[in-house]
Structure 1
Amino acid sequence: MEAIILSTQQYKDLVNRLDELNKKLEEKQKNPQDTFLDNQEFIQLMNISKRTSQSWRDEGVISFSQIGSKIYYRMSDVQKLLDNNYRKAFTTKRNNY
């Protein structure tokens, strides 16, 4: 095994670079909206059929990217779809007669 000797400045530069890479990785993990799902992952996540996902694309319900025959969805678009169709729970009062 070879030993590599670094000067103090080289060592500090290396540690700084590692810290920067670590911060970038943490930022990517904190922002799942920037990740993409392929069609199969989207179908499994939403628990829908291939035909339903096709209908949603055709009707403009969800945005998507297509490269060749592969379909991709942004996680932020999936979140937007769910947010736009969110219905708050309502309370009903029962009359006790």
Structure 2
Amino acid sequence: MEIISIEKKTFEEMVSRFDELVTRAGALCPKDDDKKMSGWMDSQDVCILLNISPRTLQTLRDNGRLAYSQINHKTYYLPEDVERVLAVVEKKKESMIIKE
């Protein structure tokens, strides 16, 4: 292993330049929080929450019961819309249990 020694002044300048680089990189790369679709749910999340199949979810979309947004062939739902449909899904499941 080779040991390299540098002057304190040189080391401090290297640290300050590194800090400047970190600051610039942080300014160029926006934080993930800004781009996240916080609050949005994808199809898998909704299927798990409602305990339904993907086909049933598609039927809810097709019938206009569940609002959605589609970005690059991926479907997203607002939690408020999913909560509204939750009552409908639960009623249908209860009626199916009663019929049996």
The structure carrying a bigger helix percent of its residues is 2
Normalised to the residue count of structure 2, the TM-score between the two structures is 0.47
Normalised to the residue count of structure 1, the TM-score between the two structures is 0.49
User: Of the two structures, which has the highest relative contact order with CA contacts closer than 8 Å and spacing of 6 or more?
Assistant: 1
